[in-house]
Structure 1
């Protein structure tokens, strides 16, 4: 994720961080060369390209803007829903830890160890969810928070976060049988685990259900056709200025298209994706502090303006 910048007016035109120029510069280069070639031919041989009215290009540009705007709104909705789900996960994890710390009977022999293990499982779930959404290996982050006898079960599980939630449920059931928690608190903690299950399912839905391919294909094709046809329609009226105008229009349309693709998958490692690593570490630190752990992992800070 890009750390918020507030560039002044001049710097705004030269800022690359957070922009999509890196993704679309090949298309812009092609449009520049094509429009320059068309403008040069028209300048050397006036009348080589017939004079067209710009009305069809204006109408097509309006329609394309509507399509791109709708697609960007849909992509942003996915990005924002993903952020809301991780915000809910932070609420659930902190609330569950608070309930465990505040109400679990610490006078009984099994109390302190059970409290620690339940909070550790919560931390492991957060890391496991992040790794599943990014298709990376979670074991380096979660092994130290899970009892060794559960490692084999987790490695054989098809869905590691879901397996961790089951272990958390068993721990709550153990607390009920050992009378470490009252019936009311057991129900309240189970509701928190259920809410975390909802976060897991919602994130899986966002990850596994992209926008319809046919719609994305239509927008891609229309954008390319429009930008490649544009120099031929404008050269008779704009002349040598045609390359500049075409590149600006192409930057707008190709940029919106590339940005919507990036926001469509909010759990990745692209510049504008969610900083799942930083959010996971924030939850981890918060829960370890609840256990009065003094040696905390360092916070993840931005590197070169990026927060991962």
Structure 2
């Protein structure tokens, strides 16, 4: 996640980190070259490269925008859910640290106490969860917190975070068996460990459940076909400039900008305002 101060207006247009420009630049360059080739071919050899009715592209563009909007919402929802899950893990871990104070109060202080072991396992759980979810991460930070007697099982486990949670549950069960904690205290502490397990399951669900492949395939095919065929539909109407040039069918951005200026100046209380833009020779630029 990119975390930085809000850039100035000038820097905003040149920031590459966090932008998709670097990823899509080859595709954009290819579509640009294809469009230029289609326009040149249509103008040089109109019989060989005829223009196509642009009507179907408008309908296809509407459908594509719906697909892209759904995909964007689905991706953001997954990101937001993961953010909430990790926020929950922070809260639960802090809660565990507070709840385990009863263990020290019952006479178990020191580095080898049950509380120290539980909290070290909680730290190892968070660090291990990073490695579990993000391939290529090194477990160095987690290994520093895993007890020596648990290291062989930890290294051999296929789901190390779950192994740590089971060990925490075993510690709590042993504390109850020796009457170090009451049934109510066991339920409280075990519930906290259970919430950590819920975070693990939620993160695994997000990681292991991608957007359905059939939907992704449909979206990518539609998008590529739309971009590749679009130049054929607008080679006649738009020509080389698409769509901010000075051809008859180009967007009247000058008139639009003038209209905005007039409206805002009027909102400021100015009275010496120009007339709204009018077409010249039936053209509004």
TM bracket (short chain): 0.7 to 0.9
What is the alpha-carbon distance in structure 2 between the residues aligned to residue 89 and residue 117 of structure 1? 18
Distance 2:160 2:60 in 1: 48
* CA distance in structure 2 between the partners assigned to 1:123 and 1:14 by the alignment: 40
* Counterpart for residue 200 of structure 2: 200
Change in CA separation of 1:56 and 1:5 when aligned onto 2, cut-off 3 Å: farther
- The answer to whether the aligner puts 1:117 opposite 2:117 as a matched pair is yes
Q: CA deviation at 1:45?
A: 4.8
1:217-228 pair list within 5 angstroms? 217-228=217-228
**CA 76–109 in structure 1, closer or farther in 2 if over 3 Å, else same:** closer
Distance 1:55 1:7, change over 3 A: farther
- The residue aligned with 1:161 is 161
Residues 224-281 of structure 1: per-residue CA shift (max 9 Å, x gap)? 0000011111110111214989xxxxxxxxxxxxxxxxxxxxxxxxxxxxxxxxxxxx
From the two aligned structures, give the one with the greater helix fraction: 1
TM-score by length of 1: 0.73
Describe how 1:272-291 pairs up with structure 2 within 5 A.
Answer: none
Deviates more, 1:36-45 or 1:81-90: 36-45
Partners of 1:189 and 1:137 lie apart in 2 by 30
Whole-angstrom CA distance in 2 between matches of 1:11 and 1:143:
42
Q: Does the 8 Å contact 2:57/2:230 carry over to 1?
A: yes
Matched, 1:105 2:111: no
After superposing the two structures, state which structure 1 stretch, 45-54 or 132-141, moved more. 45-54
The gaps in structure 1 that reach 5 residues or longer are 246-308
In structure 2, the partner of 1:241 is: 241
| Counterpart-to-counterpart distance in 2, 1:97 and 1:139 | 23
Q: Secondary structure at the match of 1:105?
A: helix
Q: Distance in 2 between matches of 1:153 and 1:134?
A: 21
Cα distance 1:173–1:160, how it changes in 2: closer, same or farther (>3 A)?
same
CA shift for structure 1 position 138: 5.1
SS at match of 1:146: coil
Unaligned runs of 5+ in 2: 246-285
- Return the offset for 1:179: 3.5
1:189 match? 189
CA separation in 1, counterparts of 2:48 and 2:244? 20
- Could you say if the C-alpha distance between residues 2 and 109 of structure 1 is closer, same or farther in structure 2, counting changes exceeding 3 Å? closer
- Separation in 2, partners of 1:22, 1:122: 39
Match of 2:134 in 1: 134
Paired residues in the alignment total: 244
Superposed, which structure 2 residues align to 1:32-181 within 5 Å?
A: 32-45=32-45, 49-101=49-101, 103-106=102-105, 108-109=107-108, 113-136=113-136, 139-181=139-181
Taking the aligned partners of 1:53 and 1:62, their CA distance within structure 2 comes to 16
Scaled by the length of structure 2, the TM-score of the pair is 0.78
Query: What is the CA RMSD across the aligned residues, in angstroms?
Result: 2.2
Give the C-alpha shift of residue 176 in structure 1. 2.2
Bigger mean CA deviation after superposition, 224-233 or 37-46: 37-46
What do the CA deviations read for 1:89-132 (whole angstroms, capped 9, x no partner)? 1111110011113x223462567622111100000001111101
